[in-house]
A and B are shown apart, each in its own frame.
Chain A
Amino acid sequence: MFKWLDPYAKPQVLFATLLWWQRGLMPLAILVLLIGTVWGLGFTPADYQQGDSYRIIHVHVPSAIWSMGVYAWMAIAAFIALVWQVKTAQWAIGAMAPIGAVYTLIALFTGAAWGKPMWGTWWVWDARLTSELILLFLFLGVMALQNAFADRQTGDKASAVLAVVGVVNLPIIHFSVEWWNTLHQGATITKFAKPSMDPSMLWPLLICIVGFALLFGALTCLRLRTAILQHEAHRPWVRQYIQEQRDGTV
């Protein structure tokens, strides 16, 4: 069934494909994020309770959603690397982890900057905030484990196992606002119910969510290409690519 996917696991083919995707995704991500943030900052009405502070939502919610989304994709790559021993999937873990860490950091940072004026505190040890902080440590743990062993393959395997095991944290983050009595509010947008937000405010938020996804894709392409070059440095095709780069720069 997945036979058509096989060639894309080959580093050389993947490297060329990723460049094509990166060139399309990066400008698109910048454009979409620009539209979403400008719209959200200047062209929506102020919230009737939170005033203009609610505009933080346009970076807070997308980065929080995709901090979990990046983790899920990273865990899928880790699962593929562990079960089918696909080395490009293994490299994808290291390519995605720093992106996820930065998204998580943004979610926590903007959450603090939103919490201060609305809750009166930068931080509380509430279930949602704490489980999101654990997500940051999971990303950092995956990054640290990769380089923690003298034998690179041991480190790769250990980080892949941590990435897969850490998936238990995702439902905890998601349902934390329902399972525990949290200061953090419940979900505004759900798949099953009408969003509790006016369309005029919803659209720029949705655009920003799409923008963060596109940026994740573009950065993954860029970072995975670097990883492929580093791991395949001694292969003839990489040497030829280096030769071409050299001829291009001289």
Chain B
Amino acid sequence: MAQFNFASFSDFIAMGGYGFFVWLSFGGSLLALLVLAIYSKRQQQNFIAEQVNRAAREQRVRQQQSREQV
């Protein structure tokens, strides 16, 4: 098994002086992927919610119409 390459946690964050660039890369990538994944999931949930509402409304309209006919 590979050894942890850094002596301490602050060394790990510092990344041998390249910390800013390394964490900028990893952070930016994680952010972009999260935005894409969450947006895609929301898009589907919103569409389903819209359709659920539409189906409910159609059902109410039908009920109202059948009541008026009686």
B70 within 8 A of A: no
In the bound complex, do residue B33 and residue A102 qualify as a contact, i.e. CB atoms below 8 Å apart?
yes
On chain B, the residues within 8 Å of A44 by CB distance are 2, 5
Chain A's closest residue to B17 (CB) is: A51
Q: Using a CB–CB distance below 8 Å, which chain B residues touch chain A?
A: 2-6, 12, 15-19, 21-22, 24-26, 28-29, 32-33, 35-37, 40-41, 43-44, 47-48, 51-52, 55-56
Q: Which of A4-12, A34-42, A139-147, A174-182 contacts B (4 or more CB under 8 A)?
A: A34-42
Stretch at the interface among A77-85, A128-136, A154-162, A225-233: A225-233
| Majority secondary structure of chain A interface residues (helix, strand, loop or mixed) | helix
In the complex, what distance in Å separates the CA atom of A71 from the CA atom of B9? 39
Among B16, B29, B40, which residue has its beta carbon within 8 angstroms of that of A51? B16
Query: What are 12 A-B residue pairs whose CB atoms fall within 8 Å in the complex?
Result: A41-B12, A42-B5, A43-B3, A56-B26, A102-B32, A102-B33, A110-B25, A222-B41, A226-B40, A226-B47, A239-B55, A246-B56
- In the complex, number of A-B residue pairs with CB atoms less than 8 Å apart: 106
A: interface residue count bin:
35 or more
With A109-B28, A219-B40, A242-B55: A43-B18 Cβ-Cβ less than 8 Å: no
User: Are B29 and A63 within 8 A (Cβ)?
Assistant: yes
| Chain B residues with CB under 8 A of A102 | 32-33, 35-36
- Contact string, A75-118, partner B, CB cutoff 8 A, digits 1/0? 00000000000000000000000110010011001100110110
